[in-house]
Structure 1
């Protein structure tokens, strides 16, 4: 009896291994690549870019980091398939990934390590499109970064109030002949108007302004194409050398800040009475 039990257990183990191997063989690894540009020029630290915004300002990058989540691939025959992200313990956790497109050189003040890809697996097949959310999922958004797992362990990418994390952190210096001593301009996208309560605890209800756009590209080949974030397009409706008095420099996602009007429109988000429309700063190349 003991021998037959051992044989049965061995058979079950072998079957389990075979099933796992078959499942792995049916999976395909994917790498979604990202880049930042100013118009058609690659965005890098230490370089000055002219002609940005309504006053054609000169800008120099300081920071460019953002979170993407809920990545899906569009099947050739229709439908979506979730990309199961690799759990690398550094850049990706659950279905969240950090994209870091600055290297702390020149005028930049982030980290030397960079990350321009999202890696994961999906059932083998033909995929012709891409969908992803820009932002941290609600269930992960409100926590203390000093106790959080990577990639949510960066205090610089969180707000010290109940808004949670900055989904997008873009900072740059700007100047123009009309305002040669302009201050910097920041774009920090995140959830706002999150109610009362302890700073690092989740709100009792979702924040009034979620600010988590979803971007969908019907035609995308992960083997040949990249997703481009165009900073020039994002601030095309802004004078980046000026700031609304009494508000933080740039846009901090509040609907009380006039400097957010153009940026939110380009993100594809609603702002005040203006409804959400098509985004106008991310493209596929």
Structure 2
């Protein structure tokens, strides 16, 4: 039953309590069997150095170009820890009212618990002067208290049922205008903007592609482009998930990107026919390529 139908059947207060119960129930179940709070740490780097807004990084990509950061944010959903035997336990997210939340969506007539959190690696300093000073580099939640977690899984994306809502009417962390892409009426799941070779902007925006419709009547996309990442060797409290820009751009020729004709934009906007996406999308769990998530030389890996 959709939220409007649920409200009609139970009354607004009854519907609110019903949805709250659905959200709280997983935490209660965890508490009955013993749980612990974990903070999944993320970090942005360039060859082992912290990615900063007030620094330059040399000899990046096939063109050995100097890069500076302009913006780097990402949405992750469905964060889960994986035990040695393969059992998977999604985090019951802490409801902080700003960076992460759980919600209930209707899928094929049934209620599903979905989680989404935003990571923000830019601090508004230096070349990131259009951003904000706030950063956020962790996802916090409850999991059963096992001592044999050896992996982590998450999806770079926004739950499809929430991806095409009007950004002005949604709750945090989806109320960030800079993560909204008006041409597809949906979110950028990952937004990475850099300055290449001094003054030239270069972008990697992970988003749905081939979208038609509007939030009012519904949006359909030919490619959702939400990659699920599974990383082995992750130990809660000891490991962290690294995004390494040098690895991401290892094959990128910044000097010859975006010619204005066959390749109108310098970067990758997740379009299937964009030649610059071929080396970038496999590194976020989409398609296939020479470097995939989890390898020691990958964009996304465990450290």
Equivalent of 1:101, from 121, 124, 130?
121
* CA displacement at 1:240 relative to structure 2: 2.1
Q: Give distance in 2, aligned partners of 1:201 and 1:284.
A: 41
Q: Give distance in 2, aligned partners of 1:240 and 1:199.
A: 35
1:34-183, aligned counterparts within 5 Å? 34-94=42-102, 95-108=115-128, 109-126=130-147, 127-175=149-197, 183=200
Q: Give distance in 2, aligned partners of 1:73 and 1:82.
A: 6
Q: Give distance in 2, aligned partners of 1:99 and 1:24.
A: 31
Q: Give distance in 1, aligned partners of 2:81 and 2:29.
A: 23
* CA displacement at 1:25 relative to structure 2: 7.3
Name the stretch that deviates more: 239-248 or 112-121. Answer: 239-248
Q: Say if 2:61 and 2:254, in contact at 8 Å, map to a contact too.
A: yes
Secondary structure, in 3 states, of the residue corresponding to 1:166? strand
Counterpart position of 1:264: 281
Equivalent of 1:251, from 259, 262, 268?
268
Deviations 1:126-174 (A, max 9, x none): 2221111111111111111121100000110010123510000000101
The verdict on how the C-alpha distance between 1:252 and 1:48 changes in structure 2, with shifts beyond 3 A counting, is same
Q: Report the TM-score, using the length of structure 2 for normalisation.
A: 0.79
Secondary structure, in 3 states, of the residue corresponding to 2:127? coil
Q: Say if 2:33 and 2:144, in contact at 8 Å, map to a contact too.
A: no
1:232-247, aligned counterparts within 5 Å? 232-244=246-258, 245-246=260-261, 247=264
Counterpart position of 1:17: none
Q: Say if 2:42 and 2:242, in contact at 8 Å, map to a contact too.
A: yes
Q: Say if 1:142 and 1:200, in contact at 8 Å, map to a contact too.
A: no
Equivalent of 1:197, from 200, 213, 237?
213
Counterpart position of 1:8: none
Counterpart position of 1:187: 204
Structure 1 alignment gaps of length 5 or more: 1-19, 176-180
Q: Give distance in 1, aligned partners of 2:175 and 2:217.
A: 16
Equivalent of 2:31, from 18, 23, 28?
23
Counterpart position of 2:225: 211
The verdict on how the C-alpha distance between 1:238 and 1:277 changes in structure 2, with shifts beyond 3 A counting, is closer
Matched residue pairs, number?
256
Secondary structure, in 3 states, of the residue corresponding to 1:46? coil
Deviations 1:217-260 (A, max 9, x none): 12111111110001111111111233232422311111222121
Secondary structure, in 3 states, of the residue corresponding to 1:241? helix
The verdict on how the C-alpha distance between 1:81 and 1:51 changes in structure 2, with shifts beyond 3 A counting, is same
Deviations 1:55-112 (A, max 9, x none): 1100110001001100111123331111111111100021100000110100002221
Q: Say if 1:161 and 1:199, in contact at 8 Å, map to a contact too.
A: no
Structure 2 alignment gaps of length 5 or more: 1-27, 103-114
Q: Say if 1:35 and 1:228, in contact at 8 Å, map to a contact too.
A: yes
Q: Bigger radius of gyration, 1 or 2?
A: 1
Deviations 1:24-72 (A, max 9, x none): 6712101000000012111011100001111110011000100110011
**In proportion to residue count, which structure has more strand?**
2
